[in-house]
Amino acid sequence: MLDDTITAIATPLGEGGLAVIRISGGKALAVADQCFVPLGEASLKPSAAPSHTIHFGHVVRNGRNVDEVLLSVMRAPKTFTREDVVEITCHGGLLPAKVVLDAVLQSGARLAEPGEFTRRAFLSGRIDLAQAEAVADLIHSRTELALQAANDQLAGKLSRRINELRDAMVETLAHVEAHIDFPDEDITPDTKDQLLGRLERGVAFMAELLQTANEGQILRCGVRAAIIGRPNAGKSSLLNQLLGHDRAIVSAIPGTTRDTIEETANIRGLPVIFIDTAGLREARDELEREGVRRSRQTLEKAEFILHVLDASEPLTDAGRSYLAEFAGKKRIFVRNKIDLPARLQLPADLDGAVVDVCCLTGQGIEFLKDAIKELVWSGEIKAEMLQVMINSRHQDAINRARAAALRATDALRAGQTLELVALDLRIAVNAVGEIVGKTTTEDLLDMIFSRFCIGK
């Protein structure tokens, strides 16, 4: 498949000013020659054009001009894939981009699979596997902090630390294997202490990386927050205030929300997925019963709860039962309608912060955002933390590497046979290598790149 020349639309589908069709492979210039007609004295056929130049002309299909385009020529190896690359910028819209793509396909290219351009960049050695994953993270970033973390990983900051860790473990393994090959030369106490020190530093660094896994997951995927409460407590109004625009229908009629509504908001740099739910009460009809069922289903999947309470109404028996029912969840109690005379008395032993707001005016919403941030991510978000945010795949690899390194440390300290030490060290080295792609399988690559969009 690496011998194929591939193509795809690299911009989102839909109407827009411009669309870009990307071509990559050994025959990219020849394919472009077949469907591009240069216009003007300065424009050239792609195969005759110098690298990193832009040319004006027409794309032709079946002998007819289909669009007026700009064509960029980028010759290997100074391209994203390290192959010859041609990018055709045509008019935006579904039909113009599709027609230009069809012309390129008819000229001998194959439609790219999801993530195939980035996969070729990895296979050519331009980027490692952690950097390749950062490309997808960059595209899907929903906050500036997520964007910064993805950019740091794409720049290789995580990869450098992982490679340093792997190099240290490889050096330790080399010393151990040397003593296996020459059994007459015992490991001196000084040498043994050095090997143990290097292993212990590696284990400590892996523990530090594992501590970033939850934060990295939050930045990449967001954290889910269910907004719950009695009908007419102000759940939909709270959602609108947190989003900064009207998303949910607000009405004085109780039970307006019958289905869950999901929207993502940037809360102090963190992507939080808020789910507005149907009011908690005994359902009066089949439709409301389904809404309450979905609300409870949402609660099971949410990382934390915003429990909205009406400050102008006294706490009912049903309200007390709901406070007790969700005691096992992380939660913030949002006391709404503080502009009205206060009649709500909350129990003193509530297990969560209480924030007073007025969803009508927006009073207290900024304090609520601070409380959400503290609940989700305690402490300051530092730039150096963003550089080494690991994902769930990295977490699994590091867990396996750390377990193997700990076994090797214990075996070396106990004076066990060096073959056992070497075996565990090889497991650790291979597991760490998986993060940057120095040890990998075709199935792993398929899994990673299948999540990419076509054209990237």
Q: What is the mean pLDDT of residues 38-61?
A: 94
* pLDDT over 70 (residue 384): no
The pLDDT of residue 253 is 47
Beta bridge partners of 336: 310
| pLDDT score of 259 | 57
What's the pLDDT score for residue 439?
A: 83
What pLDDT is attached to residue 251?
47
Q: Which of 184-188, 324-328, 348-352 has the lowest mean pLDDT?
A: 184-188
Range with the poorest average pLDDT among 71-85, 360-374, 390-404, 442-456: 442-456
Q: Is the pLDDT of residue 257 over 60?
A: no
Quote the CATH superfamily of domain 222-376.
P-loop containing nucleotide triphosphate hydrolases (3.40.50.300)
Task: Write out the residue limits of the CATH 3.30.1360.120 domain(s) in the chain.
Answer: 6-112
User: Cα–Cα distance between 8 and 111 in angstroms, integer?
Assistant: 6
Selected residue with higher pLDDT from 251 and 158: 158
Proportion of the chain above pLDDT 70, given as a percent: 88
Q: pLDDT-based confidence at 14, cuts 50/70/90? A: confident
Q: pLDDT by residue (tens digit) across 87-143?
A: 999 998 889 999 999 999 999 999 999 999 999 999 999 999 999 999 988 888 888
Section 192-204 average pLDDT: 88
Per-residue pLDDT at 284 exceeds 70? no
pLDDT per residue as tens digits for the range 58-95: 999 988 999 999 999 999 999 999 999 999 999 988 89
The C-alpha atoms of residue 261 and residue 263 are separated, in whole angstroms, by 7
pLDDT of residue 71: 97
Given a cut of 90, whether residue 404 has pLDDT beyond it is yes
Mean pLDDT across the stretch 255-270? Answer: 74
Mean of per-residue pLDDT scores for the chain: 86
pLDDT score of 355 more than 80: yes
Please state which of the four CATH numbers 3.30.420.240, 3.30.1360.120, 1.10.10.60, 1.10.260.40 is assigned to the domain occupying 6-112: 3.30.1360.120
Which CATH number applies to 131-212+388-449: 1.20.120.430, 3.20.20.140, 3.40.50.300, 3.30.470.20?
1.20.120.430
Q: Which two tokens stand for residue 200?
A: 């212990």
Would the pLDDT of 55 be above 70?
yes
pLDDT digits (tens, 9 = 90+) for 295-314: 677 777 788 889 999 988 88
More confident residue, 120 or 259: 120
pLDDT confidence bin for 447, thresholds 50/70/90:
confident
CATH 1.20.120.430 in the chain is located at 131-212+388-449
Q: Are 331 and 226 in contact (CB under 8 A)?
A: no
Sequence ranges of the chain with CATH classification 3.40.50.300:
222-376
